[in-house]
């Protein structure tokens, strides 16, 4: 374990990157996945089908493939997203690779977010949306004011699983040379083969802490949005 | 005498407010509405009656376009129903609807249920909407329940709130789809009383119900449907004592027996 403490800076940086990937890709996935879910249940048939196709495509493609596509194929096609490296946020430069990793994670995770949302929306009785429309709410208003607030309760448990999977999926970025948690762990174990178990435990604990924070936050939200029926 | 030959009972009551003409609706193979001709005058109360599956709900839902139609036209106050989007939402705001299963917004208080439409659709100020809502809730007799959630109210109270919610939009016409069918007998009266009041105040109403007491007290006209078609229409008195079609005689025989 000494290796972890003597390289504690790297350890923290690594988890910082893991958390960074999680937060950025998580927020983007929630936004994009919600849009997809609304398109799927919305009144326009062609958009229903397009969103369904998207979900089928990305839910059934291994994340690694999407990463390979973003990391290798996109730069070859001329999309390397180098421009993001000129952007400075709070003193840090975003690396193009971080950006591409976030896109890959978002493309993949949003498909699961969409399905979690949809199952939640389906748990709200149809009469609720009809009553909303009957008093003159538009489709968007009845979604926003009537259906989604009630769907929230049913959405939170599957959404928590999706987000936890995302935390762990950030490690795929390691395979592409990002010094996030798993990549840093590998580097440390290579240099300190005798401390393998300790290093491994230290990183496992790091993941457990992040996952538990997400899980606890989700319980808190779940309690808040409880609806009596 | 058939519906086509009889003079409209509502003649002189006011100009037509809701007009359905040549309306056809299919659910796959099923012909759910067959060439419906129906005109409801301003201030008129029409009771729609008929066996289960005859298309009463579909007719009601078509009037505010919760159900689309295949052919024919439906106009409200001379305007054809818009297809989709904002214009349709605006039309629905003019048509109040009360459902068999109440459908109060489960995550909102009674007061919020009534103020949501006025605030979000009409752009009314919150204080004003709440004042109006409290008056309406008092009028339907649930004013003291304003801060509760729907699940905490009895069915009869919930249905009266649903009526208040619809009234808050100041609709031109109110549609009721079997508003008392899900209620225990002792609660039916409290809802019907509110509806009779509304009728007496001149509200235009289309009411799907098997409550003959209500039809006799409040209705100007009874429309009898079977198999998706309007078979017969008449004043309540005439319809219940002298039904002309065999389908209506048969149906009345069944519901009068118990
Ligand atoms: N969404 C739907 N999809 C397919 N068929 C439907 C749908 N809604 C209604 N139907 C069918 O259309 C017919 C008319 O239904 P509707 O609900 O209008 O009857 P109703 O007169 O209101 O009957 P009830 O007294 O049982 O409420 C029925 O045969 C019903 O099964
Ligand atoms: Mg019905």
Q: A228 lies in a domain?
A: no
* 3-class SS letters over chain B: CCCCCCCCCCCCCCCEEEEEEEEEEEECCEEEEEEEEEEEECCCEEEEECCCCCCHHHHHHHHCCCCCCCEEEEEECCEECCCCHHHHHHHHHHEEEECCCCCCCCCCCHHHHHHHHHHHCCCCCHHHHHHHHHHHHHHCCCHHHCCCCHHHCCHHHHHHHHHHHHHCCCCCEEEEECCCCCCCHHHHHHHHHHHHHHHHCCCEEEEECCCHHHHHHHCCEEEEEECCEEEEEECHHHHHHCCCCHHHHHHHHHHHHC
The rounded Å distance from CA B53 to ligand 1 centre is 5
Rounded to whole angstroms, the Cα distance separating B1 from B167 reads 37
Q: A69 lies in a domain?
A: yes
Q: How distant, in Å, are the alpha carbons of B15, B22, B76, B200, B222 from that of B10?
A: 10, 20, 17, 15, 11
**pLDDT tens per residue across span A44-60:** 889 999 999 999 999 98
Sheet holding B79-80, edge to edge: B30-41, B16-27, B71-76, B79-80
pLDDT of the residue at B48: 96
Interface of B with A in 142-171 (CB under 8 A): 149, 151-152, 162, 165-166, 169
Closest CA to B230 of B7, B77, B85, B36: B36
Most confidently modeled of A180-184, A194-198, B51-55, B82-86?
Answer: B51-55
- What per-residue string of b and e applies to B221-232 under the rule 16 or more CB within 10 Å gives b? bbbbbbebbbbb
Candidates B27, B179, B206, B230: which one to mutate for ligand 1, based on the most atoms within 8 Å of Cβ?
B27
ipTM: 0.86
- In this structure, are residues A143 and A117 in contact, taking their beta carbons and an 8 Å threshold? no
Give the structural domain span for A62. 20-179
Rounded to whole angstroms, the Cα distance separating B10 from B26 reads 29
Q: A199 lies in a domain?
A: no
B58 lines ligand 1 (CB under 6 A): yes
B32 lines ligand 1 (CB under 6 A): yes
- Predicted confidence (pLDDT) at residue A85 exceeds the cutoff of 80: no
Question: CA A71, A188, A84, A108 torsion: positive or negative?
Answer: positive
pTM score: 0.79
Q: A60 lies in a domain?
A: yes
B55 lines ligand 1 (CB under 6 A): yes
Of A90-104, A145-159, B157-171, least confident by mean pLDDT is A90-104
* A93: enclosing H helix or E strand: strand A92-93
More confident residue, B9 or A73: A73
The rounded Å distance from CA A192 to ligand 2 centre is 74
Rounded to whole angstroms, the Cα distance separating A39 from B66 reads 19
Q: What is the mean pLDDT of each run of 10 residues along chain B (258 residues)?
A: 43 77 94 95 95 95 92 92 84 93 95 96 94 95 94 94 96 95 90 94 95 92 95 93 92 79
Rounded to whole angstroms, the Cα distance separating B213 from B196 reads 10
Write out the two tokens for A138.
Answer: 């538009």
pLDDT of the residue at B10: 44
Closest CA to B54 of B38, B72, B30: B30
pLDDT of the residue at A1: 61
* 3-class SS letters over A34-79: HHHHHHHHCCCHHHHHHHHHHHHHHHCCCHHHHHHHHHHHHHHCCC
Q: A140 lies in a domain?
A: yes
Q: For chains A and B, what is the number of CB pairs under 8 angstroms?
A: 71
The rounded Å distance from CA B43 to ligand 1 centre is 28
Write out the two tokens for A220.
Answer: 């808190």
Tally of structural domains, chain A? 1
pLDDT of the residue at B200: 93
* Chain A residues within 8 A of B93 when measuring between CB atoms: 135-136
**pLDDT tens per residue across span B82-105:** 887 788 888 899 999 999 999 999
Of A173-187, A201-215, B17-31, B186-200, least confident by mean pLDDT is A173-187
Q: A10 lies in a domain?
A: no
Q: A212 lies in a domain?
A: no
pLDDT of the residue at A27: 95
CATH of the domain at A100: 1.10.3720.10
Q: A219 lies in a domain?
A: no
**pLDDT tens per residue across span B126-147:** 999 999 999 999 999 999 999 9
Interchain contact, A150 vs B93, CB within 8 Å = no
- In this structure, are residues B73 and B21 in contact, taking their beta carbons and an 8 Å threshold? yes
């Amino acid at each position: 374990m000494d290796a972890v403490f003597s390289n504690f800076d790297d350890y923290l940086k690594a988890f910082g990157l893991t958390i960074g990937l999680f937060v950025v890709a998580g927020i983007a996935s929630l936004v994009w996945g919600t849009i997809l879910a609304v398109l799927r249940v919305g009144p326009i048939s062609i958009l229903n089908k397009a969103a369904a196709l998207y979900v089928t495509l990305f839910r059934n493609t291994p994340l690694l493939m999407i990463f390979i596509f973003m990391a290798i194929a996109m730069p070859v096609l001329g999309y390397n997203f180098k421009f993001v490296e000129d952007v400075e946020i709070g003193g840090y430069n975003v690396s193009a690779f971080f950006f591409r990793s976030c896109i890959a994670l978002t493309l993949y995770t949003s498909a699961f977010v969409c399905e979690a949302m949809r199952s939640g929306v389906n748990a709200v009785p149809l009469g609720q949306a009809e009553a909303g429309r009957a008093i003159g709410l538009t489709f968007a208003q009845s979604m926003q004011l009537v259906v989604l607030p009630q769907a929230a309760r049913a959405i939170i448990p599957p959404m928590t699983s999706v987000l936890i999977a995302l935390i762990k999926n950030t490690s795929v970025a390691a395979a592409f040379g990002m010094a996030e948690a798993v990549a840093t762990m590998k580097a440390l174990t290579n240099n300190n083969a005798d401390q393998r178990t300790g290093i491994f435990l230290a990183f496992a604990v790091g993941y457990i802490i992040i996952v538990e924070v997400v899980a606890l936050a989700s319980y808190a939200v779940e309690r808040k949005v409880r609806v009596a029926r | 005498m058939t519906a086509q030959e009889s003079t409209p009972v509502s003649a002189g009551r006011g100009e037509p407010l809701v007009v359905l003409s040549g309306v056809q609706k299919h659910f796959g193979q099923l012909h759910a509405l067959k060439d419906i001709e129906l005109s409801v005058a301003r201030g008129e109360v029409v009771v729609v009656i008929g066996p289960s599956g005859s298309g009463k709900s579909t007719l009601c839902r078509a009037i505010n376009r919760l159900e689309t139609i295949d052919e024919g036209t439906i106009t409200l106050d001379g305007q054809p129903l818009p297809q989709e989007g904002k214009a349709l939402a605006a039309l629905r705001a003019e048509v109040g609807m009360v459902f068999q299963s109440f459908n109060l917004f489960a995550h909102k208080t009674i007061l919020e249920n009534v103020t949501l439409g006025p605030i979000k659709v009409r752009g009314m100020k919150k204080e004003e909407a709440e004042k109006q809502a409290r008056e309406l809730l008092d009028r339907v007799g649930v004013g003291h329940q304003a801060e509760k959630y729907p699940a905490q109210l009895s069915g009869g109270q919930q249905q009266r709130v649903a009526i208040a919610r619809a009234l808050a939009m100041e609709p031109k016409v109110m549609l009721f789809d079997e508003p008392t069918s899900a209620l225990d007998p002792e609660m039916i009266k409290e809802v019907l009383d509110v509806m009779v009041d509304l009728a007496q105040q001149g509200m235009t109403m289309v009411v799907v119900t098997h409550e003959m007491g209500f039809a006799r007290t409040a209705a100007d006209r009874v429309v009898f449907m079977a198999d998706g078609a309007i078979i017969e229409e008449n004043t309540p008195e005439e319809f219940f004592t002298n039904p002309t079609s065999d389908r209506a005689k048969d149906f009345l025989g069944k519901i009068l027996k118990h």
